[in-house]
Structure 1
Amino acid sequence: MSGRLQMALSSNMAGESRNLGNGHNTNAASPLKIFGHAKSKIRQVFKNIDEYVTESDRFLSGVPAEERIVDAMQIENVKAYRGKIRGIIDVLNRDHMKVAFFGRTSNGKSTVINAMLRDKILPSGIGHTTICFVCVEGTDEPEGYLLQEGSDDRKQIGDVQKLGSALSSTKASEDSMIRINWPKDKCNLLKDDVILVDSPGIDVHPNTDVWIDKFCMDADVFVLVSNAESTLMQTEKNFFHKVSERLSKPNIFILNNRWDASASEPEYAEQVKRQHLERDIDFLANELKVCSKTEAEDRVFFVSAKEALISRSPHTSTPTSVLAEGYQARLFEFADFERKFEECISKSAVKTKFEQHTVRGKSISSELMAVLDNVFERAIHMKAEKYSTRKEHADKLDYVDRQLDMMTKDIKSKIYEMTEEVERTVSSALNEEIRRLSLLVDEFDRPFLPDRVNMDNYKKGLHAYVEKSLGRNLQSRCSKALTITVEEESRQMTEKMVALLPEEQKQNTLNFLPRRDFEIAYKLDCRNLCADFHEDLEFRFSYGITALVNRFMGPKQASMILGRGFVQNIPRSMPMTPQTPTNEAHRTMGSDDNEVLLALLATFSSLYSRTTVGALAVTGLVAKAAGWRILALSGAIYGLLYLYERLLWTNKAKERKFKHQYVKYASSKLKLIVDLTGANCSHQVQQELSTTFTQLCQQVDLSKADLQEEIKKLNKEIGKLEEIGAQSKSLRNKASYIDSELNSFILTYLKQKD
């Protein structure tokens, strides 16, 4: 048993993290954890640096630029630092330990990766199998999936057999990459941020330069998988010569795969192994010069990836009993390769991925510290000037507030008195115009036709005429005096308020105020006000029964008599004792006479108005009492009177009656809005004066706001200047703390790994 095998066995017996069967790692920590710890540490450090730079940027940007405390270039540099730190953090989040597997066709590269993943994931088999690059990385999802280059559509893992296999009709192009995301909980390598990259055979396609530039420049470790049944070929050497030209001392492991073939000829196994080992060491140490001979001995291994996959895969159906003799030693050799490979990749990745970031972080921290030292000295001189200016503004603001309060009370009192006077003046004028409404209506001259269409137009015209005439009369009586009063009050108000403004704002305010002629609007709206007016133009004979009863008895009793017709006499109870006062008896007798007369008139009118027979009966009774001649003469005179009045009932008479009715109705309606009109006009005056006063107050408020804004700005600047010293010191202490963290990272993960 070789020395390396004995070391591997003793390492596993001591509790090494490998399990050669179907299980996974034991409790011992993997060397890959070092990279994970370093990555976590450096990410936390740069998170602190990002917070520090962000806080410094916020602090320096808050310092007033016009005060020249901080140069604009310094602020721009700090903002640029933020972008650089964010870029480094993004790179750190993406940084993985990358391993690239290369070798000639059918050397078993895919099988080696499958054995390390403990499952058959990549396509493998006899002949040229892998057609393109296949990248295997971890995912936190429970199921794996496949992503083709240039697409975000997830495919099933089984599709890799179609896309990545040279035997498939739907294979991908040689210079493309398929990404397999495999659950981390199924493989500890992926859990520790390791990415495995499988490649096509380097002896199949000539585009090795393109492959190196596209897929290998960021690789931490290269694994050359050679065929142990043959010696190291020139094709393999040429490829890694090109890798060595582009990368400074790449980390290369050589796996002599298919060493299980040595079991068929055990007598030559050691000689062949020694031959391969010498040539491999010479290639690494003397030709490539990537390591010393001693280091090269630990980077050459003799394994059987197929046996390792069979023994590890949970899905294999091949029993280990069919494996070739001595497979345990080859399995230990494979485990030893993984251990050395993990140590190497962890060391390489920590140095190559984190060292430059650490140096850049220290540089940014020191540059920011120098900026912060310079800020405090420039701020002290500014504070005294800010205090003096603030006091001047505060005194001026206090004076304007006191004067504005006094003027506001005085102006509001004058506006109130003026609006009261306007309301009284307009109400009095409107009442007088209502009393003269009949004269105004009589002046309305338009053809009067009593049909419905013409009457509607006539009333519309009359409404408009009355509204316009009343408004014109009110304007002539009230508007001129009110306008003069309003303009004079506005002028005095403006002079007082403008005196509170700064000199540079006085003329601007006078130009800002609108110059308009104030005029009161009298909104009477006669059309809607008299919308319910309905004229009565029916002919009424002035000596008719209804007219006579109405004339002698009064409208109230006439309507009662004519409305109820015949009134039956209701027997009254006799008084128990005689009424002694004479005047009381006379009043009683007068009342009885009136009631008798009312009853007779009601009976007469009822009989006369019911039927022709009733009328003839009444006429007969009258003729019998007074005589036919007198009755005939009276009837003739009565008829002539009726005819005379009927002939005089012309359109002109109808128009007079219409206007009389309209004046009576409109007067009653207009009287209802006298107070409302007066209040409306007073409101207009109040609105005009209040608007002017409000505009002037707005100008004064703008001036006050400017002063307040200046004071607020000065307070903020003074407070900022007072805070600058403390903040500068605090940020400088943070810079020292970050620098110590970076030094600690260098001592822990970089210098000890050299």
Structure 2
Amino acid sequence: MMDTLNRQLSLMSGDGLHNLPAPMKAYINEKGLKIPLDNSPLQIFVKAKKKINDIFGEIEEYVKDTVEYMHEIEKDENIVNGDQVKETKEFVGKVHSIRDVLCRDHMKVAFFGRTSNGKSTVINAMLRDKILPSGIGHTTNCFLQVEGANTEEPYVVLEGSDDRCAIESVGQLAHALCKEKLSESSLVKIFWPKSRCGLLRDDVVFVDSPGVDVTPNLDEWIDKHCLDADVFVLVANAESTLMVTEKNFFHKVSTKLSKPNIFILNNRWDASASEPEFFDQVRKQHQERALDFLVKELKVCTQKEADERIFFTSAKEVLQTRMHDTKNTPLPVTDGFQTRLFEFQDFEKKFEECISISAVKTKFEQHSQRGKFIANQLRDILEGIYNDSLRLKEEKLKQRKELTDKINYTEQQLMIITQEMKKKIHNMVEDVEHRVSKALNEEIRRLSTLVDEFNLPFHSDSLVLNVYKKELHLHVETGLGSNLRARLSTALALNMEASQREMTERMETLIPDNRRVVNNVVVQRKQPFEILYRLNCDNLCADFHEDLEFRFSWGITTLIQRYAGSGASFLALKTERDDPHRGAVMPTTPTDAMDGRLAFRPSVAIDDWSLLSRLAIMGASSQGTMGCMLVAGFLFKTIGWRVVAVTGAIYSCLYLYERLTWTNKAKERSFKKQYVQHATRKLRMIVDLTSANCSHQVQQELSGTFARLCHLVDEATSEMDKQLRGLEGEVGGLERAGGKAKVLRNKANYLVHELELFEDAYLKLQHR
């Protein structure tokens, strides 16, 4: 007894105070009675609760940001799937539930023992006020939970109700509870103003219970009120010893909870003052029994830990002392009071340290682990999203580069092919122009053969002759066209087909496989290309006027015209140019070669002819009679009349012969000859025009084919440009998705680190 007294009294000395552990220094003032709240071990729980609430506030915000981010990228199934989005959404409810639990978490201490062992008195002494009913007999008939409230007045809430029952004073509390006639397992919550009690400000909740000897229904009590308790205080009666009923209760608790924190408080130790001779023996007996119960029977702590969880005190004395300090009431003092007071204070110190560490561990360790699990799960999901976005980004960048290179290659090749095709088309156009010109000239030289093949009945009547000429125009135009096609079409068609095939093959290399087409689709022609030779002989020979009048081939005018030759023709043309207002021009088409007649205009003025020519002209004019007489006289005088007679007879025979042979057939031959000469001259005038027209057709056909191919290439290029813009958008989206995933992943690492720091700071205190 003296050793214990010396140990407790040393606490009151200055040296003893400085030798206390840091937490103990914080609770004892100069008199050794008051416990400051600022540095209380219970503040560990308060600070830990605030810290973990702050962390989970960040986790909740982080989970919401992650869910929002998931919704943003949900449409891209390549980097996120529906299961990941669903899993992430589930974390919102989980974190919200954890936050709700954390807000309600508090340090809970449950007091158990037999009836009238002083459980309520111990709680009142710790709360420094008479809050719970106490006294002789069975005063607590149900579970009472005392917790702090941010109100000025206390109030009571019954189980299953939210109605507040106001109480006017602490003394009325017992009467209120008894009036309700509650069952033994019912819970009544007493909300006491935090301003009146320091312990309640530190989130400590006290649970008082009926005596464990009142009912055998201990399992219901444990399940309903004890599973979330951080510390159990067994209030025993120091005047007796631990009973089987008390032991059975804690045996049941130890089966439901892993190593519960149990303190054994031997109350009413003030009774030992009346029997000082048995003080040490009784204390030792109670100590050994309690140690065996904690260490050997329950196995909830070690021998050293059990020594610090067994206390001998008098709660009634402590309550009276503390109420005296606040109300200045008389304080009765008995032997050993200071020792029992310091024993109770030591119990409070150990209790506060234990419940703070235990509550932090039991309340927050699981939440911290769940918080790390959530953060790690989200980090893994975001890490996968980040890696997938990087992989997809690299793929898209590679595709973008390939597509950009393909577009540049297509444009360069298109320029090269365009230059080559332009040159090829130009060469082919020139070749076609040359071939058509050559072939047309050859056909013009063979025009007489073509005209001779025309065998429609001929008649010199004007109506019949007009129909004849129209049909002849059509025959010549058709024949020339057929001959030209026969000579050129096959070779030109083969060249055109080869050129178009080459264009198609060259251009198809620039078109994607899904847009490639065969040659006939590219050329878009149902029939092979064919050149149209537009000769239009009807209009070309519209000015043709035939001369079917009979003219003697040995007539004077004909002979003069024949021998005058080109000089006469030149003079005739010169006169015609000098006087454009002369009468209508007669046809100048030569007549049949057999008679040598020419279409001749008798009114042509010739100045330099010989005298004989002039006489001939005079003979052909209105003074022909006089001219003939002069000529006849001149001949008779010169060569004699016999020669003249013979010559005249021969001349007359020739004239008669020609006149008799001037039949319809001769007229047709003369007509065709005149037509051939006229058409030849006209056709030679349009050789260049026709060849140019044919070359233009070829140029249009080849240019059209190449233009259609270029259009297909342009469509393919436009499609690739569209794909390129789409890839750029996808790359930008993946960059944003990857960047945000990286930020959120790093934030997950930060939150895990914060929780690890929290565990180092609060959950590992017991190892320090």
1:165-176 correspondence runs (5 A): 168-176=178-186
Q: Are residues 288 and 67 of structure 1, via their aligned partners in 2, closer, same or farther at CA, if it must alter by over 3 Å?
A: closer
Report the Cα distance in structure 2 between the residues aligned to 1:7 and 1:236, rounded to whole angstroms: 34
The answer for the alignment partner of 2:273 in structure 1 is 263
**Cα offsets for 1:500-521 (capped at 9, x unmatched):** xxxxxxxxxxxxxxxxxxxxxx
* 1:132 partner amino acid: C
- Structure 2 CA distance for partners of 1:27 and 1:120, relative to 1, 3 Å: closer
Per-residue deviation, 1:293: 1.6
Give 1:51-90 correspondences, 5 Å limit. 51-65=61-75, 67-90=77-100
The structure with the largest alpha-carbon Rg is 2
Identity of aligned pairs, percent? 55
1:36 aligns with 2:46: yes
**Pick from 204, 207, 211: which aligns with 1:201?**
211
Letter in 2 for 1:300: I
Cα displacement (A) at 1:721: 3.7
> How many residues matched?
435
**1:745 matches 2:752:** no
1:36 and 1:192 in contact (8 A); partners too: yes
**Structure-1-length-normalised TM-score:** 0.53
**Which residue pairs with 2:254 in the alignment?**
244
Judged with a 3 Å threshold, the aligned counterparts in structure 2 of structure 1 residues 49 and 167 are, in CA distance, closer, same or farther, namely: closer
Is the CA contact 2:113–2:212 (under 8 Å) kept in the aligned structure 1?
yes
Tell me the CA shift for residue 215 of structure 1.
0.1
1:533-557: CA deviation from partner (whole Å, max 9, x where unpaired): xxxxxxxxxxxxxxxxxxxxxxxxx
Q: Deviation string for 1:128-182 (max 9, x for gaps)? A: 1100000001112222211111111111235886775699343321111110111
User: 1:141 corresponds to which residue?
Assistant: 151
Q: Summarize the alignment of residues 282-431 of structure 1 with structure 2, pairs less than 5 Å apart.
A: 282-313=292-323, 319-376=329-386, 377-378=388-389, 380=393
Relative to 1, partners in 2 of residues 1:150 and 1:8: Cα closer, same or farther, differing over 3 Å?
Answer: farther
**One-letter code aligned to 2:759:** I
Deviation at 1:278, TM superposition (A): 1.3
Residues 4-34 of structure 1: CA deviation (Å, up to 9, x unaligned): 5246546984444146989742376111111
Contact 1:163 1:172 in 2 (8 A): no
SS in 2 for 1:151: coil
> For 2:241, which of 223, 226, 231 is the aligned residue?
231
Structure-1 residue corresponding to 2:608: none
Deviation at 1:73, TM superposition (A): 0.3
Given candidates 729, 738, 742, the residue that maps to 1:729 is: 742
Q: CA deviation at 1:724?
A: 1.1
Inter-partner Cα distance in structure 1 for 2:743 and 2:58: 14
- The aligned residue for residue 707 of structure 2 is none
In the TM superposition, residue 745 of structure 1 has moved relative to its aligned partner by 1.7
Deviation of 1:183 (Å) = 1.4
Contact 1:22–1:313 (CA<8 Å) still a contact in 2? Answer: no
- Contact 1:130–1:166 (Cα < 8 Å) also in 2: no
Hey, what's the Cα distance between the residues in 1 that align with 2:48 and 2:13? Answer: 29
Contact 1:17 1:28 in 2 (8 A): no
Please give the alpha-carbon distance, in whole angstroms, between the structure 2 residues aligned to 1:84 and 1:310: 48
Residue 322 of structure 1 aligns to a residue whose secondary structure is coil
Letter in 1 for 2:203: D
SS of the aligned residue for 2:84 comes to: helix
* Structure 1 segments unaligned to the other structure (5+ residues): 389-711
Letter in 1 for 2:285: Q
Q: Render the CA deviation track for 1:458-517: whole Å, top value 9, x for unaligned.
A: xxxxxxxxxxxxxxxxxxxxxxxxxxxxxxxxxxxxxxxxxxxxxxxxxxxxxxxxxxxx
Q: Does the CA-based 8 Å contact 2:233-2:265 persist in structure 1? A: yes
Q: CA RMSD in A?
A: 3.3
3-state DSSP class of the match of 1:290?
A: coil
1:411-454: CA deviations, max 9, x gaps? xxxxxxxxxxxxxxxxxxxxxxxxxxxxxxxxxxxxxxxxxxxx
Q: What is the CA distance between 1:374 and its match in structure 2?
A: 2.8
1:621 is matched with which residue?
A: none
Instruction: Describe the superposition over 1:337-391 as per-residue Cα deviations: whole angstroms up to 9, x where unpaired.
Output: 0000011111111111122222222222222222223324345356999999xxx
Judge conservation of contact 1:119–1:314 (CA < 8 Å) in 2: no
Q: Note if 1:2 corresponds to 2:3.
A: yes
Q: Deviations over 1:262-301 (max 9, x none)?
A: 1222222222112111111111111111111221111111
In structure 2, give the amino acid aligned to 1:5: Q
Partner of residue 455, structure 1: none
Does structure 1 conserve the Cα–Cα contact (< 8 Å) formed by 2:357 and 2:765?
Answer: no
Distance 1:746 1:10, change over 3 A: farther
Distance change in 2, residues 1:27/1:132 (3 Å): closer
How far, CA to CA, are the matches of 1:179 and 1:21 in structure 2?
A: 34
Amino acid at match of 2:364: F
**Inter-CA distance 27–108: structure 2 relative to 1 (3 Å threshold):** closer
Structure 1 residues 328 and 6: CA distance shift in structure 2, 3 A: closer
Counterpart of 1:99 in structure 2 is 109
Contact 1:164 1:178 in 2 (8 A): no
> SS of the residue aligned with 2:180?
coil
Take 1:82 and 1:172, find their aligned partners in 2: how far apart are those partners? Answer: 40
Q: TM-score, normalised by structure 2?
A: 0.53
Secondary structure at the counterpart of residue 764 of structure 2: helix
Q: How far has the Cα of 1:326 moved from its partner?
A: 2.2
1:207 Cα offset (Å): 1.1
Does the CA-based 8 Å contact 1:101-1:224 persist in structure 2?
yes
Q: Secondary structure at the match of 1:168?
A: helix
Q: Which amino acid aligns with 1:732?
A: R
**CA deviation map 1:592-629 (0-9, x unaligned):** xxxxxxxxxxxxxxxxxxxxxxxxxxxxxxxxxxxxxx
Give the corresponding residue for 1:118: 128
- Give the C-alpha shift of residue 318 in structure 1: 8.4
Q: Which secondary structure does the structure 2 equivalent of 1:226 belong to? A: strand
SS of equivalent to 2:178: coil
Q: Report the CA distance shift for 1:237/1:713 in structure 2 as closer, same or farther (over 3 A).
A: farther
Q: Tell me how far apart the structure 2 counterparts of residues 346 and 76 of structure 1 sit (CA, whole Å).
A: 38
Equivalent AA in structure 1 for residue 8 of structure 2: L
Matched-pair contact (CA < 8 Å) for 2:132–2:173 = no
